[in-house]
Amino acid sequence: MKKLTLILIFFIVHSCLFAQSFVANYDESKVPPYTLPDPLIFKDGKPVKSKKDWRKRRKEIFSLFEKEVFGYSPQWIGSTKSEILSRKDGALNGIAKRKEVRLELVNGNKTISLNILIYLPKNSKDVPLFLGCNFNGNHAVSTETDVLIPDSWVGNDKNLHITDHRANPEGRGKEASRWPLKEIISRGFGVATVYYGDIDPDFDDGFNNGVHQLFDVKRDSTSWGSVAAWAWGLSRVMDYLETDREINTGKVIVMGHSRLGKAALWAGAADERFAMVVSNNSGCGGAALSKRIFGETVGSINNAFPHWYCMNFRKYNQKEELLPVDQHELLSLIAPRPVYVASAAEDAWADPKGEFLSCVFASPVYELLGEGKFSASDMPPLNTPVLGTISYHVRPGKHDVTLYDWNCYMDFASGYFKLKR
C-alpha cells in the first residue's frame, strides 16, 4: 500500500513538473541569452563569400531542417492525373473565372485525391496567383453556394475521428473572411486553394492516412510529419498548375496562415518553383525564432501536435539552445525570392518579435545575393509595413488573416510582379 502511495505521489509530482515546464513565457525580460547559427558560416567554420558558396551552404541548412525539424519528404515518383470537375465563367458576380480540379495522386495501388479551387480574373492573363491550403474545405473559402464540398469528409468523419462539423455543408463560407476573393481578383491576382485535410488530416493518426499512406516507407525519427506533408501537397498542386495553360507558373505565391503558414514556408524552401512566400502569423516552427523561448515553444508544439514535425525535433524540447538551426535560416532558404512575414500584435503565442527578428537575421543572406538589406532593426509601429525582398508588418488585433494583411501582400506583390496598384 505504502509502495502504491509512493508511486502515485511520484506520478503526480512528475506530471505537475511536466505541465509546469510548458507554461509559456510572455515576459521579454525573461528571454534567455541565445546565440543564433550564422547562415553565412559553413559547418566547417569557413565563411560563405559568394553566390556559389551560398548554393552549397543552402544545402547544409536545408538538410538540417529536413533531418531535425520537418522530416524528409519523399520524392514524388507516382503519377498525377487531373480532371476538371466544374467551370464557371461569370463567378463572383461576373468578375472571375472559376474552376474546380480533382487531382489524383497514384502510387502503385494507392491513390489519394485532392480538390483544387481556382479563381482567376475574367479578363486578364498571366496573373500572379496566391496558392494556399485552407482549414475548412474549399466550400468554406467561398460564399458561392455551388462550390463542391470535398468527398473526403462525407461519410468519413467517424472513421477519421474528426469530431468537428467541417463536413457539414453549413461550413460554406465559414472561412471567407480569410480569403477576400473579390478584392484579390479585382486587384489582378488569381487564387488557388486546397483543403489541408485532403492532403493530410490534422490529427495524430500514426500516419495511416493522407499522403503519408501513399508510401511504404518505414518511419524513423527523420520521417516527415504533417507540416511537411501539407507543403508536399502544395508542390503537387504546383505540378498540376504547370500543366494548366491558364496559369503563369512563374508567378505563384505560396501563402498560409498559422500552421498552414509553417507549411507555406517549408514549401517555399523545398520547392524553388514558388516565386514568393507569405507567412501569416506562422509562429513557432514557422517564422518565429525558437531560441527566444517566447510564447509557444518547441516543447509545447511537439507536445500538443506530436504529428506536425519529425520525431528528431523533440530532442530540442526545452533544449532549444542545442538546435543546430533557427527559423531565420528557414527564411534564408527562400532567398533570393521574396518572403513576406506578418504578425498580429495580440498574437503573443506566435511571438511577433521573434517573427520580426527572423527577418532581421535572414537579411545577410539576401544581401549577399544582391537583394538589399531588410531595412528595419527595431519592430516597426503597427500598420507600418517594412517592404523589400524580405517584408514584414505587424497589425493590431488577433491571430487571423484580415483584409489589411491581404492588401499588404498585394501591395508588395503588385510592385514585384509589376502590376498596377
**d(C-alpha 169, C-alpha 235), whole Å:** 28
**d(C-alpha 387, C-alpha 378), whole Å:** 14
Q: Does 258 bind ligand GCU (CB under 6 A)?
A: yes
List, as one string, the DSSP characters of 254-305. Answer: EEEETHHHHHHHHHHHH-TT-SEEEEES--BTTTB-GGG--BS-HHHHHHH-
Residue with smaller CB distance to ligand GCU, 153 or 349: 349
Q: Does 259 bind ligand GCU (CB under 6 A)?
A: yes
* Annotated catalytic residue 332: no
Give the helix/strand (H/E) hosting 60: helix 51-65
Q: Does 329 bind ligand GCU (CB under 6 A)?
A: no
Alpha helix stretches (DSSP H) within 271-402 = 298-304, 327-332, 352-368
Choose the binding region for ligand GCU from 121-129, 147-155, 296-304, 323-331 (rule: CB under 6 A): 296-304
Restricted to residues 367-386, the positions that interact with ligand GCU (CB under 6 A) are none
Q: Residues 113, 235, 399, 414: which is the catalytic one?
A: 399
Q: Does 296 bind ligand GCU (CB under 6 A)?
A: yes
* Annotated catalytic residue 300: no
Task: Kindly give, in sequence order, each residue whose CB lies less than 8 Å from that of residue 22, ignoring residues fewer than 6 positions away.
Answer: 297, 299, 300, 303
Question: Measuring CA to CA, which residue among 137, 340, 116 is closest to residue 235?
Answer: 116
**d(C-alpha 22, C-alpha 292), whole Å:** 14
Q: Residues 258, 332, 343, 358: which is the catalytic one?
A: 258
- Site size toward ligand GCU (CB under 6 A) is 8
**Which whole-number Å values give the CA distances from 45 to 37, 52, 57, 363, in the listed order?**
11, 17, 11, 20
Q: Does 301 bind ligand GCU (CB under 6 A)?
A: yes
Kindly state the smallest distance separating residue 399's Cβ from ligand GCU, in Å. 7
What string marks each residue from 208 to 247 as x (binds ligand GCU by CB under 6 A) or -? ----------------------------------------
Residue from 150, 190, 283, 352 binding ligand GCU (CB under 6 A) = 283
Q: Does 365 bind ligand GCU (CB under 6 A)?
A: no
Residue with smaller CB distance to ligand GCU, 178 or 236: 178
Residue 81, all three cell numbers: 492525373
Give the helix/strand (H/E) hosting 231: helix 226-241
Q: Mind telling me the catalytic residues? A: 258, 399
Residues that bind ligand GCU (CB under 6 A): 258-259, 283-284, 296, 301, 304, 349
